Structure 1
Amino acid sequence: MARTFQLAGLLRLRQIEKDHAASDLAAANALRRDAGERQVRAIAALHAVPVEATDASTLFALAAARASSRSMLADLTALAAQAEADAAAAQEAFTEAKKRAVGLEKLEARHAAEVVASDLGAEQAAIDEIATGAWQRDRSADGRGNGS
């Protein structure tokens, strides 16, 4: 039996892919949270705009500010939706990478268990051989092994 796991290189590659996918997932989740927080801040800023107009120029400024804010909110909503989609795609990629790695990890664990079992079997055979040899030597030394 081979002492080293023959698919160790492939397993390492799968683990690297899984780590990379986990990193991408973390980054996508951070962007998703950031987009949501920016959206909340923009809505809060919109609520802070005074609604009282004392003259026409103030009314026009309020209208322009609201139009700008609505446009910004629409952009932030689109950004949040894109960030959500990216996070979902990153989650799916991570799940797939993890599935590919888990199969090889199970094979490696089974290989390690077989190596340990083989080592223990060889050790037990050596112990049995030593014990049998000692028993036969003791028997020969007593004179019973000469056919008497």
Structure 2
Amino acid sequence: MARAFPLAGLLRLRQIEKDHAASDLAAANAFRRDADDRQVRAIAALHNVSVEATDAASLFALAAARASSRSMLADLAALTDRAEREAAEAQAAFGDAKARAVGLEKLETRHNDGVAAHDLSTEQAAIDEVATGAWVREREGSES
């Protein structure tokens, strides 16, 4: 009977941590892409705004719109920077979780290979014993 991998519980935990980190990384990358898209759309929308001022009121409105747009772009730039940092942190966390899981996966593979080798050795010994026993019985039968 094959022995179970003694660290199987810890390996499952590490794989769950790796899956969770991969999920966090996917969410962080989606947030980063969304922030980038918002910034690109806002810049494109601002390029389509008319810049002609026909009177003082439209000039004041244009100045207010530009100030507001500048503030909005600064907020979007900060959001994009934050999203980039979070994506980088999530990538690092995923790398760490993957490294912890890979070490245990290698140990499990080595364990399974050892168990399989032991099982094959035991089976070969049994086959050799049967063959040797049949040979001995055959020799004893021919000598009588």
TM-score range, shorter chain: over 0.9
Partners in 2 of 1:68 and 1:2 — Cα distance? 70
Partners in 2 of 1:89 and 1:74 — Cα distance? 23
TM-score (norm 1): 0.94
Verify: 1:134 aligned to 2:138, yes or no: no
Query: C-alpha offsets along residues 17-37 of structure 1, whole Å, 9 cap, x if unaligned?
Result: 000000000100110111001
Partners in 2 of 1:2 and 1:141 — Cα distance? 38
Partners in 1 of 2:67 and 2:2 — Cα distance? 71
Verify: 1:29 aligned to 2:57, yes or no: no
Higher relative contact order, chain-length normalized (CA < 8 Å, sep 6+): 2
* Identity score, percent: 75
Partner of 1:11: 11
Q: RMSD of the TM alignment (CA)?
A: 1.2
Partner of 2:91: 91
Q: Any runs of at least 4 consecutive aligned residues in structure 1 with deviations exceeding 6 A, and if so which?
A: none
How far 1:58 sits from its partner (Å)? 1.1
Aligned residue pairs, count:
144
**Residue identity matched to 1:114:** G
Gaps of 5+ in 1: none
Gaps of 5+ in 2: none
Partner of 1:55: 55
Secondary structure, counterpart of 2:118 in structure 1: helix
Secondary structure, counterpart of 1:142 in structure 2: helix
How far 1:14 sits from its partner (Å)? 0.3
Aligned 8 A contact 2:2 2:119 in 1: no
TM-score (norm 2): 0.97
